[in-house]
Amino acid sequence: MTSTPAKKGIDTILKKPIAAGIIIGFAAALVQALLFPAGGPVAYGFCVACHSRDFIDVIWNNIFGTSLFAAPISLAGALPVLTIVGVLIGAVVAALVYREFRLKKATALGCVKYTLGGFFFMVCALLMGACPYRIALRIGYGDLIALFGLVAIVIGVLIGVKIALKKMEA
């Protein structure tokens, strides 16, 4: 596939994580400016953990008639926030366009490990009330409590790195 220089130029910029970070920050603020009247909370423009929770809880509520917790913004209308669906579609399309889609097979043990990992990750993230992204947004919004979350994540990563290095030595 031959891509035009213009397309390549934009892609070079978009490949820089700092560009992605700035655009996500802008988009999160714009989304709050547009959607806050539908319901809070604040600094909720983008969060993988909370938006997944809203998505699955509202679906579950609709099917089984339960009343699991979701943010007001997701309970206001018929549909919750669909950010997670968008992320999956966007990343698939980008991977296909740039031919980076590769099916990576996994062992059964690996799948069990990752399922459990995802489970406990989500529980801990919801305990924090945020994934690392909403922590960033909340700090940007001036919530000092979120700083504790960031410090905790940094400590967690340090412990994780220590464990990973130990495993490599063994």
Partner 1 sequence: MDPLAKDVAIMLVPIVTIILGFIIGWLGQRSGFCSIGGIRDFFLFRQTRLLKGYVGLILSAFVFYLIFSLIVPSAFPNFFWLIENPGGILAAIPGAPGGLSVAATIICMLVGGIFVGIIGTLLGGCPLRQLVMTSEGNIKSGFFVIGMLVGALVFSGFILGWVVDLFALIGI
Q: Which amino acid is at 6?
A: A
Q: Any residues with CB less than 8 A from the CB of 52 and at least 6 apart, and which? A: 84, 122
Selected from 7, 8, 9, 22, the binder of partner 1 by CB under 8 A is 22
Q: How far is CA 78 from CA 14, 43, 51, 75, 84, in A?
A: 34, 22, 15, 7, 17
- Give yes or no for residue 3 binding partner 1 (CB under 8 A): no
Show contacts with partner 1 in window 72-131 (CB under 8 A): 73-74, 76-77, 79-95, 98, 100-106, 110-129, 131
Contact 57, 86 (CB under 8 A): no
Question: Of the candidates 2, 20, 65, 169, which one interacts with partner 1 according to CB under 8 A?
Answer: 20
To the nearest whole angstrom, how small is the minimum distance from the Cβ of residue 116 to partner 1?
A: 6
Nearest CA-CA partner of 31 in 44, 18, 49, 48: 44
Contact 127, 156 (CB under 8 A): no
Q: What is the DSSP letter of 15?
A: T
Nearer Cβ to partner 1 (9/93): 93
- Give 2 or 144: the residue with its C-beta nearer to partner 1: 144
Question: Smallest distance, Å, CB 150 to partner 1?
Answer: 7
Residue numbers 35-64 binding partner 1 by CB under 8 A: 35-46, 48-49, 51-53, 56-57, 60
Q: Both tokens of residue 70?
A: 């979701």
In whole angstroms, the minimum distance from the beta carbon of 6 to partner 1 comes to 15
